[in-house]
């Protein structure tokens, strides 16, 4: 069965889009293609007028595309700062030592930018669902996302 057929979707800086459709219409599939989770079998993706091949979420993040999935990718037992920088931990001069201060300061700057009254050391399990979603947004901003895709935000 074909999930997407003859799809055309254009974005411009500063725009907000909502995709609406019935269950099974391909909305989530399109979001996963645009964020590198799924690789399309045919067609092309143009990003900043150039064709790109998104083969993984990391390849999408590298060019500035981030996704927040329906199910959050947060670890409840870790702090907000640890969740934002997981897999991209900041290290001290010696490279084998984590730089908690740098991570905490960068996290606080992101939280301030989003006007959130959350501390970087707060455990994610202590946050409301809405606050957790904002942590996901902060996480996307931490990779300098130019395109932020939210798959069914605040569905719960």
Domains and CATH numbers, the chain: 27-150 (3.40.50.300)
Q: How far apart are CA 85 and CA 47, in angstroms?
A: 26
Cβ neighbours of 150 (radius 10 Å): 19
Strands 45-47, 50-52: pairing is: antiparallel
Average pLDDT, the chain: 85
For the entire predicted model, the pTM comes to 0.73
- Over residues 38-67, mean pLDDT: 90
How much is the pLDDT for 153? 66
Between 90 and 104, the higher pLDDT residue: 104
- Over residues 128-147, mean pLDDT: 88
How much is the pLDDT for 156? 47
- Over residues 7-24, mean pLDDT: 85
DSSP string computed for 121-153? TSBGGGS-HHHHHHHHHHHHHHTT-SEEEESST
- Over residues 47-72, mean pLDDT: 87
Between 98 and 19, the higher pLDDT residue: 19
């Amino acid at each position: 069965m074909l999930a997407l057929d003859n799809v055309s979707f254009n974005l411009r800086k500063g725009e907000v889009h909502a995709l609406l459709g019935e269950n099974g219409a391909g909305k989530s599939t399109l979001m996963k293609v645009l964020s590198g989770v799924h690789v399309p079998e045919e067609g092309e993706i143009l990003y900043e007028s150039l064709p790109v091949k998104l083969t993984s979420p990391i390849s999408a993040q590298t060019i500035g595309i981030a996704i927040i999935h329906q199910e959050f990718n947060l670890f409840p037992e870790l702090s907000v700062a640890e969740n934002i920088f997981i897999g991209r931990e900041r290290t001290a001069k010696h490279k084998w030592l984590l730089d908690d201060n740098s991570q905490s300061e960068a996290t606080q700057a992101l939280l301030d930018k989003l006007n959130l009254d959350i501390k970087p050391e707060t455990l994610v399990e202590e946050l409301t669902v809405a606050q957790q979603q904002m942590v996901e947004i902060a996480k996307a901003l931490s990779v300098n996302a130019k395109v932020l895709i939210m798959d069914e935000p605040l569905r719960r």
